């Protein structure tokens, strides 16, 4: 009897944990934390473990809160789409009130954690939540320009790490912001291309032309080119302390060309399979590019 009770409790806790991961979009939140920590390593004169832990915790809380607010606002639309109908709120596993409590608590914890680092970091974190929930989310059913608006909070994490490490906003975090800003477009339009039919069920307008056509594919190519250009600018020595050696710039450039190859393939084929390959290439690009930047900072002085 006790075994059955213990098993039931374990299953219940497992479901609660699973729903928490889903309401906060754990995989996305972890990728955002990764970007923030990469930015921290680039900006820090001295690495402090406590600061990294605060940034990671605060960053997860802020992203988790944004995603929870988003799912509260879009609960009725989520129920219409295959991709989202089993989320905690539309499936009935979690009430709106419980989700709201989670969102508010995470917001408070996130802002407090980032404020302990410095006020600028907390400010940018709060701006990110506001833009994501109050501007980007409502615009998704109104206009494809929502992706442009959403690119702002989406680009904050990389620069947030630098600000957390330095308590300063200048050309260095601005450059990190621009790299991730331009990356957002091919990444999310590739995702929007793949999920276009499902998005239409919820009334979302994610593609720039509203269709899976050459116009959308061409814009994906153009934004990928801009991303590549911005990502190698630090090699010119015009971005303050944010620098890139020639070998590292070549690696970053080649990573960008690989992503551009898949963008051109989508322009040529215009199918979901190719869009998926581009989306996966974009995820690989942003991770590897950040690793190259960080590795180059620490290897450059040794050469």
Chain segment 168-214, per-residue pLDDT in tens: 899 999 999 999 999 999 999 999 999 988 888 888 888 999 889 99
Determine the pLDDT at residue 15: 73
State mean pLDDT over 213-223.
Answer: 95
Check residue 82 and give its pLDDT.
87
Look at the chain and report how many structural domains it folds into: 2
- Mean pLDDT, all residues of the chain: 91
Question: Hey, what are 285's tokens?
Answer: 């690009």
Region of 203 please: left (phi>0), alpha (psi -120 to 50) or beta: left
Q: 261 and 129, same structural domain?
A: no
In contact, 259 and 285? CB cutoff 8 Å: yes
Please check whether residues 262 and 275 belong to one and the same domain. Answer: yes
Same domain, residue pair 150 and 177? no
Both 117 and 91 in one domain: the answer is yes
pLDDT score of 293 = 97
Say yes or no to pLDDT of 301 above 90. no
What is the three-class DSSP state of 117?
helix
User: 98 and 127: one domain?
Assistant: yes
DSSP 8-class letter at 133: I
| Cα–Cα separations (whole angstroms), residue 288 to 38, 181, 282 | 11, 16, 10
pLDDT tens-place string over residues 89-139: 998 888 999 999 999 999 999 999 999 999 999 999 999 999 999 999 999
Residues 41, 153, single domain; the answer is: yes
Query: Is the pLDDT at 4 greater than 70, yes or no?
Result: no
Listed residue (229, 231, 221) closest to 286, CA to CA: 231
Give the CA diameter of the chain. Answer: 70
The pair of structure tokens assigned to 227 is 């991303």
What is the full DSSP assignment across 188-238? HHHHHHHTHHHHHHTT---STTSSSSHHHHHHHHHHHHHHHHHHHGGGGS-
| Whether residue 176 sits in one domain with residue 144 | no
Distance, first Cα to last Cα, the chain:
66
The percent of residues above 70 in pLDDT, for the chain, comes to 96
* CATH number of the domain within which 107 lies: 1.10.357.140
pLDDT at 1: 55
pLDDT at 10 over 70: no
Shared domain check, 55 and 97: yes
Structural domain range at position 41: 10-168
Helix (H) or strand (E) holding 32: helix 26-43
pTM of the complete model: 0.90
pLDDT at 156: 92
Per DSSP, the three-state class of 13 is helix
Of 168, 183, 212, the domain-final residue? 168
Q: Which residues contact 303 (CB under 8 A, 6 or more apart)?
A: 245
pLDDT band at 144 (very low <50, low <70, confident <90, very high): confident
b (16+ CB within 10 A) / e for 212-238: beeebbebbeebbebbbebbbbbbeee
Average pLDDT over residues 150-168: 92
Angle at 111 between CA 105 and CA 113, to 5 degrees: 100
* Cα–Cα distance, 76 to 80 (Å, whole number): 7
Question: Same domain for 222 and 94?
Answer: no
Residue in the structure block whose two tokens are 């490490």: 165
């Amino acid at each position: 009897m006790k075994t059955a009770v213990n098993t039931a409790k374990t299953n219940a806790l497992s479901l609660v944990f699973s729903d928490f991961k889903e309401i906060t979009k754990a995989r996305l939140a972890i990728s955002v934390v990764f970007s923030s920590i990469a930015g921290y390593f680039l900006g820090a004169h001295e690495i402090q473990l406590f600061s990294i832990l605060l940034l990671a915790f605060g960053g997860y809380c802020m992203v988790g809160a944004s995603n929870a607010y988003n799912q509260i606002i879009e609960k009725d639309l989520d129920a219409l789409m295959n991709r989202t109908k089993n989320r905690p709120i539309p499936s009935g596993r979690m009430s709106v009130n419980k989700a709201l409590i989670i969102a508010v608590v995470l917001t408070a914890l996130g802002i407090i954690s980032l404020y302990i680092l410095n006020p600028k970091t907390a400010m940018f974190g709060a701006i990110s939540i506001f833009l994501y929930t109050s501007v980007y989310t409502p615009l998704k059913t109104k206009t494809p320009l929502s992706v442009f608006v959403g690119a702002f909070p989406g680009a904050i994490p990389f620069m947030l790490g630098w600000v957390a490490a330095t308590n300063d906003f200048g050309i260095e975090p601005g450059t990190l912001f621009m790299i991730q800003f331009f990356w957002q477009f091919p990444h999310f339009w590739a995702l929007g291309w793949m999920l276009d039919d499902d998005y239409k069920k919820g009334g979302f307008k994610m593609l720039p032309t509203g269709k899976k056509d050459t116009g959308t594919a061409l814009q994906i190519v153009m934004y990928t080119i801009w991303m590549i250009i911005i990502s190698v600018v630090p090699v010119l020595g015009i971005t303050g302390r944010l620098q890139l050696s020639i070998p590292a710039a070549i690696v970053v450039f080649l990573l960008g060309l690989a992503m551009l190859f898949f963008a051109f393939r989508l322009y040529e084929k215009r199918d979901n399979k190719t869009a998926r390959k581009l989306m996966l290439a974009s995820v690989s690009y942003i991770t590897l590019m950040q690793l190259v930047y960080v590795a180059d900072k620490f290897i450059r002085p040794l050469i």
